Structure 1
């Protein structure tokens, strides 16, 4: 894209956001980049630091950094900020290659990677200035966003000495967006990618999307659904993808495409897609050449293969390594990568679904090409409210592994329920896999620490759509933000991330920040309690995954049925994954497995994931299992009411539009939490035959009533 065109798009995005800020200032569009004026009492601490921006370098990325600093500082300080010469309070940005000033300062950039930055308060020509420097223009952009976030969260900027760089190389959002504009598991409107009018229409909203991504260090976007259509790889769609890539590039973002494995047959007119067939390999090389001719910095392919009916190398009795390496060879000549999903299970495999991925992939350790990242979900089933970590983490030290988490809330109340999923991501990242000895946390694995891997990454299934507030609800924005922060630094604490988000999105007043942060940090545990307590999982209704459906047991494939996972009968409940059952426990390292092997000592949070126990099983707290189950469901409902009360008390700190929007969602969540509680208890009581513990109310309706509910038009089902 020509520099003039880039500048025009940057200006369009800036103006679109500014117009949103004046006309509909608090509708959620501005996300955490609101840049509202610093309160008068605090303003003197920030005003001397930002009247002038001194920028070196003429790239579109430097232009984006300048535009953001102008926008942010003029909003925060309520005064004009201009570009100019060195003066007291100036912000000086650039790289050693583009700026003689920055080169002369001998900043510690050599220790940082290409995306790292330094922010330092120093003196230049007798003037006290703030320097934002990087090894590349992208590093400068990240530093600019970090500097603005410090002011947004009211942190001191008088004596800065920050050096930071991302710990992961690939930090990517996976959009499950379809070419017809629908979004699979999307609950915030239609796709933001207007494939119908691309490449001609370059929506200014793409710039605001890119700004949000870059502000938290996200550097890649998969534009289309993993359940891919081959059309995405045809010439017209490559041209559309090029147009999006041109818009996102100044913000350090590469585009990727989900590739359908059978595309050589469907659009290449070959008779096979066998990865070992020379004609097939040649077709993928030619296709990669075509894409890179249009998009020289194209990131590569994301592939879902041999899973849930998707074609793959298994159709030709080949391994996942055979398939991934074929595609890696095609893009590798151009510097591209392949993210190969480990989410596989088959109706032809009678094993416990939780075992199938490890069974297929672990024996292939060391066989994947260096530019392949094995993309592994946080748990072995499917983005459940709580799962143990995936056994592949730590079990493949010779393979590049990246973590995949779900930002969109397919199983967590969709766009309505207030659930801070970043706490779930943190739980996974901090978990010790013991795969290569004590201390082999998931974070250490994906940082490349157990195999000295240079190619590292983390992916998040996006929750972004055409809704004005981007994510369907204001609090869902927190997980877009939180994902980016954890992808930059997998060791970052979820609580600190929540606090920063609350400050930037709503208010810096401590009377607001602490209760909201407390509420966010407790919210994930709350939803586990009213949906899937004590290790239950996949109890959602069929297809749309909206609401409870523990009774569903009549689907063609066993592993699609909630009853497959609960295994509730007159004798008890839970999935036996010990040696007496599916033995999925044996796929974990011995030190990890032993914590779940004994029903008497297991953390109750995982009891029914790994154990089938009687309804009268004596729990650690002295209650029988049935009583604890009822109590936990009920506690979850009570905690949602507590969230409502907390939010109601915060009305003085939030604009009326967003306050009412969150209040409405909490009312829905309270109603649906009770539905989950009542329907689940009604069903499981039909199996246990036991009375509810004293003081706990019976379900409001009959089991037949709950079974009769149907939702054929629930959102997010489009493929």
Structure 2
């Protein structure tokens, strides 16, 4: 018997010492160190009563089984008598209606279909803790919120909480191809194993669903916006059905990307003209077939007439005519058509910044009610920093959704730690002045400022087959932050960072404070050593990895010179009335202020102005000096991040500490690379010495220009 106990003890030690690799994400459920909280949660888990049975309640029970054992070391106890030995009640408002008073029922009902309420209830002389939703999914969200409060050690049974998402569709866009490559993917291959579906279901799919549900993400587009029509064939519908069935208990609807030329490619037609009766009939049949497999299919996501993708323009039709044709096929089934506003053509001699507004703004009010125009946060292409897209505020009669990029295409990919929530917060808080003087981007996205109820926030996924899901462990924070901001666009990046850090690394306050500082300064650091003062699109060609301010040749709008316009006189893109006049697409309050280089926020200066190298800024320094100082400051911040992280050795488990430390070492090298290459290049135009106070760039410009990366990950397949 003694040997048996010794064996069990050694087994427990080996399990507790199992290396952490990040697979559990923020759902690690580390044991609660606070003894009072531990006892309180343990007591609640001693008697759990569900007011009904359904697949979502089963998903909740599975999560409680997992979290209970890890948080407090015990399996929950479920009761069949709601009044006997019960501590925790779970159910919908309708199921629990006899327990709530009229006022409480009204308050919960007003939270909408995804909202929840949780708090203590006194009933027949006993106190219970209840988590209530208007439907089972709301209960699921409430349970995950409760678990979050336990993980962050902020749970207080005396406090009530009512919450509901501000955005209707909270969506991940996977740029995953059917051959499992991922465009702009830096964490391995696609997690969707189309070849082995529908017969083989990877257990990872359910963990993916759990993670998304814990954030309130309720929609997922499975396939690349550079679409393959095969996904709309019967064989692939059967495969997609398996994922939809698995995701359904977690409240996640499946969307697919629709290739506009599918009627030709898989339908045998000679045209894809959206006004052609045969084309309409094709999409009607395909949509009906899709719903026969997936009754709650979300709808289609479409990229059309951009970067070579087919669209309605080939037939002399506009975006509204193309989108409405697909929307009409979806409407009888309650489906949604999401149409991307990322459109530009090198055949049009116009500033790329202006093309989306030029094409879409005249169509305001002409789209069907089940159409959402998905707009990138900025008008160029997910740059390290962009001013908000001028379409926000310019189309008050149209459903507009936000598209953020979680994968770090232009922000160091999977080698750099860049927490993106500060960038997203900056965009969401931006004042648009339209449709009202107080309007913000967030108010348009969540419908508060437009009265729209079909709302969307989408994020381009950074998920792949790497064991830690996101390639760089710290990039998990961006998946987490996106979900939290999609639920509530008014959450701050600081609040979200604190949540994620404590859920991921535990409750060591000293360590958490350092990690949060690293996260919160990382984006500004990257902007400084990549594209300070509004510089943009100066990365390497095609792979977008590393600096390439010298890129020229071929399509002008795919070159760096098109955007920075450096010459002997100065640097920057003139988008004022003396240049492309893109500023005129913003509200007059913005256009007037930003047209003045002395009034525009310095972070957008060279985005909208071409200024002399010796132009004096508010700091008293010249444009050349300020550019150099920003590049140098970015490098210094990256080094400080590495030093701060390394100081946590022994506090963070060795596996994850080593992983991040090694990648921060690469990040420092890459920051120096960016600074050296860009400053040496721009100096050939500025013809001025570097400021005395900066560390002087090393290496030769020719060396940096000679570097090539033909095997960089995430490049669009050329076949």
Aligned equivalent of 2:605: 607
Of 61, 81, 93, the residue aligned with 2:90 is 93
The range that moved more, 411-420 or 48-57, is 48-57
State how far apart, in whole Å, the 2-side matches of 1:568 and 1:100 are.
68
Question: What secondary structure, in the 3-state scheme, does the structure 2 residue paired with 1:176 have?
Answer: coil
Distance 1:348 1:156, change over 3 A: same
- CA offset digits 1:99-143 (Å, max 9, x no partner): 466567844321111111111112344332210111111111101
Aligned equivalent of 1:37: 31
Unaligned stretches of 5+ residues in structure 1: 1-17
Question: What secondary structure, in the 3-state scheme, does the structure 2 residue paired with 1:83 have?
Answer: coil
Question: What secondary structure, in the 3-state scheme, does the structure 1 residue paired with 2:413 have?
Answer: coil
Q: Is the 8 A contact 1:541 1:548 kept in 2?
A: yes
The range that moved more, 84-93 or 350-359, is 84-93
Aligned equivalent of 2:652: 654
State how far apart, in whole Å, the 2-side matches of 1:363 and 1:390 are.
16
Distance 1:21 1:176, change over 3 A: farther
Aligned equivalent of 1:183: 182
- CA offset digits 1:663-701 (Å, max 9, x no partner): 011000000000000000111011111111114343221
Of 616, 619, 637, the residue aligned with 1:618 is 616
Structure 1 residue 564, shift from structure 2 partner: 0.6
Aligned equivalent of 1:49: 44
Q: Is the 8 A contact 1:577 1:583 kept in 2?
A: yes
Aligned equivalent of 1:419: 418
Distance 1:380 1:236, change over 3 A: same
The range that moved more, 508-517 or 79-88, is 79-88
State how far apart, in whole Å, the 1-side matches of 2:93 and 2:557 are.
56
Written as runs of structure 1 = structure 2, the 5 A alignment for 1:291-440 is 291-440=290-439
How big is the alpha-carbon RMSD for the aligned residues of Structure 1 and Structure 2?
A: 1.6
Written as runs of structure 1 = structure 2, the 5 A alignment for 1:224-239 is 224-239=223-238
- Name the TM-score, length of structure 1 as normaliser: 0.95
Distance 1:208 1:382, change over 3 A: same
Aligned equivalent of 2:62: 67
State how far apart, in whole Å, the 2-side matches of 1:458 and 1:536 are.
26
Question: What secondary structure, in the 3-state scheme, does the structure 2 residue paired with 1:595 have?
Answer: helix
- CA offset digits 1:390-435 (Å, max 9, x no partner): 0000110000000000000000000111111011111110000112
- CA offset digits 1:45-75 (Å, max 9, x no partner): 5333322221122211110011112221232
Q: Is the 8 A contact 1:341 1:375 kept in 2?
A: yes
- CA offset digits 1:82-108 (Å, max 9, x no partner): 211445672210113344665678443
Structure 1 residue 300, shift from structure 2 partner: 0.1
Structure 1 residue 557, shift from structure 2 partner: 1.1
The range that moved more, 448-457 or 565-574, is 448-457
Aligned equivalent of 1:8: none
Q: Does 1:148 align with 2:147?
A: yes
Aligned equivalent of 1:111: 110
Q: Does 1:205 align with 2:199?
A: no
Distance 1:246 1:22, change over 3 A: farther
State how far apart, in whole Å, the 1-side matches of 2:269 and 2:685 are.
54
State how far apart, in whole Å, the 1-side matches of 2:463 and 2:18 are.
19
Structure 1 residue 454, shift from structure 2 partner: 1.3
Unaligned stretches of 5+ residues in structure 2: 1-11
Distance 1:124 1:22, change over 3 A: farther
- CA offset digits 1:541-586 (Å, max 9, x no partner): 00000000000011x2110001110000111100000011000000
Question: What secondary structure, in the 3-state scheme, does the structure 2 residue paired with 1:415 have?
Answer: helix
Written as runs of structure 1 = structure 2, the 5 A alignment for 1:131-142 is 131-142=130-141
Question: What secondary structure, in the 3-state scheme, does the structure 1 residue paired with 2:709 have?
Answer: coil
State how far apart, in whole Å, the 1-side matches of 2:530 and 2:34 are.
45
Structure 1 residue 40, shift from structure 2 partner: 4.8
- CA offset digits 1:235-284 (Å, max 9, x no partner): 00010000111111110000000000000010001111011111111110
Question: What secondary structure, in the 3-state scheme, does the structure 1 residue paired with 2:161 have?
Answer: strand
State how far apart, in whole Å, the 2-side matches of 1:321 and 1:552 are.
36
State how far apart, in whole Å, the 2-side matches of 1:494 and 1:518 are.
11
Aligned equivalent of 2:704: 706
Aligned equivalent of 2:563: 565
State how far apart, in whole Å, the 2-side matches of 1:272 and 1:216 are.
42
Q: Does 1:688 align with 2:689?
A: no
State how far apart, in whole Å, the 1-side matches of 2:437 and 2:124 are.
52
Q: Is the 8 A contact 1:132 1:140 kept in 2?
A: yes
Distance 1:22 1:61, change over 3 A: farther
Q: Is the 8 A contact 1:210 1:253 kept in 2?
A: yes
State how far apart, in whole Å, the 2-side matches of 1:158 and 1:328 are.
46
- CA offset digits 1:461-501 (Å, max 9, x no partner): 00000000000111100011110101001111111011000
State how far apart, in whole Å, the 2-side matches of 1:391 and 1:21 are.
53
Q: Does 1:675 align with 2:673?
A: yes
Q: Is the 8 A contact 1:89 1:127 kept in 2?
A: no
The range that moved more, 410-419 or 507-516, is 507-516
State how far apart, in whole Å, the 2-side matches of 1:21 and 1:578 are.
63
State how far apart, in whole Å, the 2-side matches of 1:347 and 1:493 are.
38
Question: What secondary structure, in the 3-state scheme, does the structure 2 residue paired with 1:225 have?
Answer: coil
Q: Is the 8 A contact 1:391 1:588 kept in 2?
A: yes
State how far apart, in whole Å, the 2-side matches of 1:175 and 1:23 are.
34
Question: What secondary structure, in the 3-state scheme, does the structure 2 residue paired with 1:503 have?
Answer: helix
Aligned equivalent of 1:502: 501
Written as runs of structure 1 = structure 2, the 5 A alignment for 1:161-180 is 161-180=160-179
State how far apart, in whole Å, the 2-side matches of 1:543 and 1:642 are.
31
